[in-house]
A = this chain, B = another copy of it.
Amino acid sequence: MTGQARTTLHASSKAAVLDVIRAAGTISRVGLINATGFTGATISTVVRRLIDEGLVLETGRAESTGGKRRVLLQLDHASRYAIGVHLDHAGITYVLTNLGGAVVARITRPGAGAEEPPEVVARMAAEVHALVDRVGVDRERVLGVGLVSPGPQSATTGMTHTPPSMRQWEDFPLDRALAEAVGLPVLLDNDATAAALGEHWSGGIGGTATSAALYMGTGIGAGLVIGGITYRGTSGNAGEIGHICVDALGPECWCGARGCVEAMAGPAAVVATARADQVLARMVGLTGAKRSRPSVAADFAAVSRAARRGEPQALAILDRSARYIAVAARTLANLMDLDVLVLTGPSFAIAGSIYLPVVKEELDRAFFARATHEVDVRLSRSAATAPAIGAAAMVLQSELVPLHEGMRLPENLAAAEPAFITPPSA
């Protein structure tokens, strides 16, 4: 048993207050009491500390509502910055955000592909430095690097269940290597969790919502955000929606179970079905000599483009995939009683217009608590950058929890907490 849940729930009064200020833009102390449920004394203490640390500014007074005009608070956006890196097989996305999570700069570079991990790390370090230099931000104000990638990762266990496309990264100490190369603390997490936080910070999701990001890249995952705080579960592996069973007697998945939605309907399954149709495969370019660096992501994109052109065979394959994914989305919504579900990640960036109506229809028709409230299903407006934005947001949030204040964590908490790895020279 680990203490992740406890830490996530209770070590975060500063993070919660910051999140409410960020979401509100400007807010009074009384507004914070109402929004968080904290006592006046707690809000007063937390706000004083945020002001002392230069994170929050007092900025004039609200219109009078009869009594004393209330002092308004807002973030000092330029007081801190964070870097978010989304490492994927097909591309690496870098963002630099300010304390409010707004993207100040963004670059995209070729993915990890078949490159060896040490080469990729050296390249990432150079690209991070180039990004910071280009904007001219004081390096002292950059808190660290959030690094997210597919699959379950942790500093203590390595990538024990590495997805097929990232096998050469198994057991590679990614966070330590990057921290050493870039000279900044590095926080490692998975891309679906980061995407959920990125959508929360950039997508206008209210601070109190229970939201999930359904992430489709090469695989399928989900990130969960409860009231602004990411929910990670016991070992950081919550949200494995790709391994929801949609057919108890279905084919075996690489995870060891049967009938997982990823195996039945994920991008690799879509590509395999398309490839089995020789006419379609030729038409969309899944075969032939001209293919350089074929990947599931590229082939899925090709099938999706054909479907969007109205190609009936391609459309039928994606429609079947969407129906299974909609069932998995409903299972997630029923278990978590969701407010908001955002479809995000590179595969939804391409094929989201086909999946969105099917998922919406399924939840409107059969979400268990539909008589009480609907689930707001959205297509992300920043599907390609949400994981990197979320990675940066994790760094900003972690600045505000005890980990960073030097408070000793009980030993049994250490494994599940996304740990900051500090470079040896820092």
Chain A residues in contact with chain B, CB under 8 A?
A: 1-11, 13, 16, 34-39, 41-42, 45, 152, 154, 157, 160-161, 206-210, 222, 226-229, 231-241, 243-249, 255-257, 323-324, 327-328, 330-332, 334-340, 365-366, 368-369, 371-373, 376, 401-402, 407-410, 412-413
Contact = CB atoms under 8 A, between A and B. Distances in A.
Given A246-B245, A331-B244, A402-B37, A9 B11 contact: no
Contacts of A402: 37, 39
Nearest to A224: B335
B2 A208 contact: yes
A243 to B, nearest CB: 5
Q: Which 5 A/B pairs are nearest by Cβ-Cβ distance? A: A233-B337, A11-B37, A3-B208, A257-B366, A237-B369
A365 B222 CA distance: 22
B371 A161 contact: yes
A1 to B, nearest CB: 5
Most chain B CB inside 10 Å of its own CB: which residue of A239, A247, A368? A368
Nearest to A372: B235
Nearest to A376: B1
Given A1-B206, A235-B369, A365-B256, A37 B337 contact: no
A227 B210 CA distance: 17
Contacts of A257: 327, 330, 365-366, 368
B338 A234 contact: yes
A246 B260 CA distance: 10
Given A157-B372, A237-B372, A339-B2, A327 B41 contact: no
Nearest to A265: B248
Given A37-B11, A38-B11, A227 B339 contact: no
B366 A255 contact: yes
A334 B244 contact: yes
